Copies of this chain bind each other. A is one copy, B any other.
Amino acid sequence: MMRTADIDTPALLVDLEVMERNLRRVADYTRKHGLRLRPHTKTHKSPRIGRRQLDLGAAGLTVAKVGEAEVMLAAMPEAGPADLLVAYPVIGHAKLERLMAVARRAHVTVSLDSLAAARQLSEAAQAAGVKVGALAETDVGMGRVGVSPGAELLGLARGIERLAGLSFEGIAFYPGHIKANGEAGREALTALGGVIQRILADFRREGIEARIVSGGSTPSLYHSHELEGLNEIRPGTYVYNDWNTVASGACTEDECAAALLVTVISTARPGQIIVDGGSKTFSSDRFAGSAESTFGHVVEAPGAVFHKMNEEHGYVDVTKCDRKFEIGERLTIIPNHICVAVNLHERVYGIRGGELEEVWEVAGRGKLQ
């Protein structure tokens, strides 16, 4: 058995107990409130964890790309329904053909925001002889994908209902603009609740059944039950959490399951250490919690400021630390954004009680298409 001390750096470590607690907490919360859980697997990209999410009661798994759907088939139970939501419009012949191969092995639903995308999906489903679910994506304030609530959304839903090969299953949105708890978060949630109510009133009035009302992201996770009409959530980050999630108030440092193990490789400059992880290890996603541009939290030295990076170099200002750092010393750093960091790693080192218990591949890493 490899020991933790033998893991070469930089490496992605996951504390298995913390991860299990995170998985159980959300499973318990959704069960208690009668919410369907289709966790987004973009964070972990590993069938091993997807399977655990299903075992704990998830109704299905969410992916962004067809390549991730292909990988997540391995997470599906041998017996019982297999369910995959592709929360991304699938455009173009090559991807649709691959998606239909997945749809022969699992119930596939796609969320999309245009009739152009719906027509392509309908044609592919008919050609393949499968039925594919569709969710009409609406924009509730994120300003990314999704048609506006109201006439546009109703038009999209009606359009989907008319297309052969598709079953209209409901609506999807991503409240990624709700980043913080506290007063600002509460106001944003109240506004979101109003939007959902107006959408559902529209649908009732027009006689369109939106069986699934799917939203949910990690920062606003535990407020999901306060949103009347919402019946499914798709959080991803909660499995590992990260420093941005801590900043949002949605978790504590103790609930961060994943961290990057790095080694100090230079102490040549006074007041600074260089670690062997930069943007190729952490990603260059910045800290959302303030205007400061920092790249992670150094667990062993909370006063250290990870303020700059190049591809292979992390610059850590240690002027506020009352200790010395030696070349070869190892540090654990919680990244700002764990999803993009996971995508940079081939494998995860699962740690329990400080010792290495298992290693798994990030099988869904780098699935761009």
Contacts and interface: CB of A to CB of B under 8 A. Distances in A.
A266 B277 CA distance: 35
B269 A311 contact: no
B274 A279 contact: no
A291 interface: no
A112 B343 CA distance: 29
A81 B88 CA distance: 51
A188 B266 CA distance: 24
Interface stretch (A2-10, A14-22, A162-170, A194-202): A2-10
Interface string A146-174: 11100010000000000000000000000
Given A89-B266, A340-B280, A144 B315 contact: yes
Interface residues of A, number: 64
Contact of A117 (B95, B146, B265, B315): B265
Contacts of A269: 139, 143-144
Given A265-B91, A345-B368, A274 B6 contact: no
Contact of A340 (B88, B311, B345): B311
B64 A312 contact: yes
Contact of A266 (B114, B326, B328): B114
Interface string A264-279: 1111110010101101
Nearest to A89: B265
A229 interface: no
Interface string A240-283: 00000000000000000000000111111100101011011101
A283 to B, nearest CB: 6
A343 B268 contact: no
A78 to B, nearest CB: 30
Contacts of A265: 88-89, 91, 117, 145
A328 B116 contact: yes
A17 B277 CA distance: 34
Contacts of A312: 42, 64-65, 88
Contact of A283 (B92, B143, B279, B328): B279
A209 interface: no
Contacts of A94: 6, 8
Nearest to A367: B280
Which of A42, A276, A312 has the largest number of chain B CB atoms within 10 A?
Answer: A276
A275 to B, nearest CB: 10
Contacts of A95: 8
Interface in A81-135: 88-89, 91-92, 94-95, 113-114, 116-117, 120
A176 interface: yes
Given A268-B114, A283-B283, A343-B280, A311 B144 contact: no
Most buried by B among A148, A312, A339: A312
What 3 A-B pairs come out closest when comparing CB atoms? A116-B327, A145-B266, A8-B94
8 contacts: A8-B92, A42-B312, A89-B266, A117-B327, A143-B269, A143-B315, A148-B268, A280-B368
Given A11-B369, A91-B263, A144-B313, 13 more contacts: A91-B328, A92-B263, A116-B326, A116-B328, A139-B269, A143-B272, A144-B274, A144-B315, A145-B265, A145-B266, A145-B268, A280-B366, A311-B343
